[in-house]
């Protein structure tokens, strides 16, 4: 009976799904609702750590990375790492992987190891949900070494800071840091070396391409111009299979999760 009810709501308008959610107050359905909520909480705590790897890259060879054209920026894959270069003040280098998150229902994670190799003045991080065609949507999760801060930003006609925090324990020159973005429905979380740094509820985009970010600071402000940043062990995990109670993602799961995370 319960299975039939769940299957029956797939594809119905949102208002109908919400009506069914109200109906979970029915005592006969309560155990399922509790089980789903527990599963959701378990998944939230896991931060997709055990989800299957959709794409992994140790940069032993070029698997199809591409540079968003920008003056005085470049990258090279050699000796097992990807090296991003930015040779002009405020030029940010964006390098995209072959992965697009469009199909993952905003339920995935992106992680990488990164270090600056010629100064402590670089910015570096991850880009996600970039739209190559319109070129006007993009999230950036990055460490700013000069400011000693961690940022979560998005581009909607202009740059908007969604969340920021003090950087905490960050390895400086020649020291690897592990960065990770977790997208769970409406929620975005950014981790530095396993510690939650920034968090927000934001669904500006449906999905998009994921990749790497590096930037140089202004020489006029007293910082060196050129940033050289080294990335390794990039991975994207697909969390969709873990997110629901019955092993099959459907419209009810998505709505429950989005509502739960939106609170």
Is the Cβ of residue 113 or residue 250 nearer to Ca ion in the bound state? 113
Residue 49 binds Ca ion (CB under 5 A): no
Pattern 67-106, Ca ion, x by CB under 5 A: -------------x--------------------------
Residue 7 binds Ca ion (CB under 5 A): no
Q: Determine which residue in the list 23, 34, 56, 58 makes contact with Ca ion, applying CB under 5 A.
A: 58
Which residues does residue 170 pair with via DSSP β-bridges, in sequence order?
A: none
Length of the chain: 263
Selection from 38, 33, 45, 43 nearest residue 239 by Cα: 43
Tell me the C-alpha to C-alpha distance, in Å, between residue 191 and each of 73, 82, 141, 183, 197: 26, 21, 9, 11, 5
Q: How many residues bind Ca ion (CB under 5 A)?
A: 4
> Can you tell me the distance from the alpha carbon of 249 to that of 244, in angstroms, rounded to the nearest whole number?
6
Selection from 210, 178, 20 nearest residue 100 by Cα: 210
Residue 232 binds Ca ion (CB under 5 A): yes
Cβ 189 to Ca ion shortest distance, Å: 25
Is the Cβ of residue 80 or residue 168 nearer to Ca ion in the bound state? 80
Cα first-last separation, the chain: 29
Site residues for Ca ion per CB under 5 A: 58-59, 80, 232
């Amino acid at each position: 009976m319960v299975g039939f009810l769940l299957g029956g709501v797939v594809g119905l308008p949102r208002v109908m799904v919400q009506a069914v959610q109200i109906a979970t107050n029915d005592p006969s359905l309560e155990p399922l609702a509790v089980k789903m909520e527990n599963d959701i909480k378990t998944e939230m705590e896991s931060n997709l750590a055990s989800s299957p790897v959709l794409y992994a890259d140790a940069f032993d060879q070029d698997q199809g990375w591409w540079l968003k054209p920008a003056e005085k920026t470049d990258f090279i894959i050699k000796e097992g790492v990807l090296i991003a270069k930015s040779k002009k003040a405020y030029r940010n280098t964006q390098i995209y992987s072959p992965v697009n998150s469009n199909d993952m229902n905003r339920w995935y994670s992106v992680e990488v190891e990164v270090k600056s190799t010629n100064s402590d003045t670089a910015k570096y991080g991850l880009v996600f949900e970039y739209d190559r065609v319109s070129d006007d949507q993009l999230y950036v999760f990055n460490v700013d070494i000069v400011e000693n801060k961690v940022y979560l930003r998005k581009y909607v006609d202009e740059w908007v800071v969604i969340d920021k925090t003090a950087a905490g324990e960050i390895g400086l020159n020649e020291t690897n840091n592990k960065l990770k973005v977790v997208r769970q429905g409406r929620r975005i979380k950014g981790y530095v070396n396993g510690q939650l740094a920034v968090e927000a509820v934001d669904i500006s985009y449906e999905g998009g391409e994921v990749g790497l970010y590096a930037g140089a600071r202004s020489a006029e402000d007293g910082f060196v111009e050129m940033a050289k940043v080294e990335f390794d062990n990039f991975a994207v995990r697909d969390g969709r299979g873990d997110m629901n109670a019955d092993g099959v993602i459907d419209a009810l799961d998505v709505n429950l999760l989005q509502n739960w995370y939106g609170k």
